[in-house]
Structure 1
Amino acid sequence: MSAASYDAYVGLHRLTLERQGQAEAFDAIGDRYEEAFPHKEGQLASGAWLAGALPPGSRILDVGCGTGLPTARQLADAGHRVVGVDLSAEMVKLATEQVPGAEFHQGDLADLRDGRLGGPGSYDGIVAFFSLLMLPLAEIPHALRMLHGLLRPEGLLALAMVEADVDDCPIPFLGNTIRVSGYLRDDLRQVVRDAGFEVTGEDSYAYAPASTDVPPEIQLFLHLRRA
């Protein structure tokens, strides 16, 4: 393992410990997450792009799968083999119940680097909808390069982030506190290119969650190809 790879590996393992509070928050939130975010037009559109761009039966990793709705179910219903992973045990439980046609695991990004869910080139596609924003900005490029390595050549990544110029910022979220990071869109485009991806498409949506303690946001969806 190179020095750079080792540093990234250690950094992600450190984050596993630091983010235990994030997991506990989402364990407490459970299916209230779907109540707070009932309309997911952008997520559905991006999931449809990935589902249609890959041959039936493609292996797709859902990073931060949450309750499995709508994305894991959407991809499984399209005939793909879906592997979901989430830091929250409660979210994994809900996803397993709601999307029996997919495979779900509790784990962190560091677990993906360990090869527990597949080695280099194991996936035809990856979705990471609002999961990387749970990392400090310094760690997001490492995570993107790791996802790049898990994809086969020319593999596809559907990425969603909230547009914001923040780094590991605590915010109230459904009665809990979580920490989030974000980029302005030009900066996000550069980060994904630096990680080895080609941007093939992009959409943005203004989103007002149903919950009053979650502020309105601009959601960015990037369609990426492993360059």
Structure 2
Amino acid sequence: MSEASEFDRYGGPSAVLPDRAGQAEAFDAIGRLYDEAYPHKDGQLAAGRRLAEALPPGSRVLDVGCGTGIPTARQLADAGHHVLGVDLSSGMLDLARKNVPAHNAEFRQLDVAALRAEGPDGVGQFDGIAAFFSLLMLPRAEIPYALRLLHGLLRPGGLLALSMVEADLDDAGIPFLGHTIRVSGYLREELRQVVRDAGFDIIDEDTYSYAPASTDVSPSSPLRSTRGGPDPEHQLFMHCRRG
């Protein structure tokens, strides 16, 4: 696909959104099984806590691919921040509204490609953004555009907490909890370059090894199944600032 047509998905003249109905339907069906398969989330908890503590009190924060709202949206709302969680899956959003009933948390069904600060469906700007394991659901060709879009949604000096799984994959179909989802990944140095090219300064990084609790995702975890073995996945957490 040409660069021009990819750009159209993220605000170009034709503004054609990608068809991700299959991804949404898979996560509608997976629902609460996701949190059962991934019960601990130590890296995500640590990164969410770091973001919550680094932001000024009462900051506005976007949670991209919020899923069930656990742990990140709830963590940020409990810290007193105003949270907008977005996800493709209506089923996940129903769970998020139950899991995070706080007055300062709102959830909307939106594709990352549809996020705009202004306009009738505009979401405004944010002091911080969390994107934990959500951009890996995009084809590689879209990830740089998505990062630039998130850069534009941040106020100057705003913070991005980003996580990916380290893997050399592009839009690969992976069996996951009885469904097939499509995932992408980068090796570490390439991911760093993509993030910097989108206009972010990388403040710090953390790496966690993680093995899901459920045998349904072991070894069929989204970014492990192609490696064919029981080794845990390597989760990369980047703490970034809008440059």
Give the TM-score of the pair, scaled to structure 1: 0.93
Query: Secondary structure, in 3 states, of the residue corresponding to 1:224?
Result: strand
1:218 and 2:219 correspond: no
Whole-Å separation in 2 of the counterparts to 1:13 and 1:114? 18
Moved more, 130-139 or 100-109: 100-109
1:109 Cα deviation after fit:
1.1
Name 1:53's counterpart in structure 2: 54
Name 2:201's counterpart in structure 1: 198
Name 1:40's counterpart in structure 2: 41
Query: Secondary structure, in 3 states, of the residue corresponding to 1:48?
Result: helix
Aligned-residue RMSD, C-alpha: 1.7
Identity of aligned residues (%): 69
Whole-Å separation in 1 of the counterparts to 2:133 and 2:148? 17
Whole-Å separation in 1 of the counterparts to 2:110 and 2:85? 10
Name 2:112's counterpart in structure 1: 109
Aligned pairs for 1:110-189 (under 5 A) are 110-113=113-116, 115=118, 116-119=121-124, 122-189=125-192
For residues 132-185 of structure 1, the C-alpha deviation after alignment (integer angstroms, 9 at most, x for no partner) is 000000000000000000000000000000100000001010000000000001
Name 1:89's counterpart in structure 2: 90
Q: Given residue 165 of structure 1, which amino acid in structure 2 is its aligned partner?
A: D
Contact 1:163 1:185 in 2 (8 A): yes
Name 2:229's counterpart in structure 1: none
The structure carrying a bigger helix percent of its residues is: 1
Give the TM-score of the pair, scaled to structure 2: 0.87
Moved more, 109-118 or 195-204: 109-118
Query: Secondary structure, in 3 states, of the residue corresponding to 1:39?
Result: coil
Query: Secondary structure, in 3 states, of the residue corresponding to 2:66?
Result: coil
Label 1:124 to 1:138 Cα distance change in 2 as closer, same or farther (>3 A).
same
Q: Given residue 139 of structure 2, which amino acid in structure 1 is its aligned partner?
A: P
Whole-Å separation in 1 of the counterparts to 2:212 and 2:9? 37
1:13 Cα deviation after fit:
3.7
Moved more, 181-190 or 107-116: 107-116
Contact 1:12 1:139 in 2 (8 A): no
Contact 1:60 1:81 in 2 (8 A): yes
Structure 2 unmatched ranges of 5 or more: 220-231
Whole-Å separation in 1 of the counterparts to 2:165 and 2:238? 11
Name 1:9's counterpart in structure 2: 11
Contact 1:25 1:176 in 2 (8 A): yes
Q: Given residue 191 of structure 2, which amino acid in structure 1 is its aligned partner?
A: L
1:5 Cα deviation after fit:
5.4
Contact 1:57 1:80 in 2 (8 A): yes
For residues 15-57 of structure 1, the C-alpha deviation after alignment (integer angstroms, 9 at most, x for no partner) is 2x1x110000000000010000001110000001100000110
1:12 Cα deviation after fit:
7.4
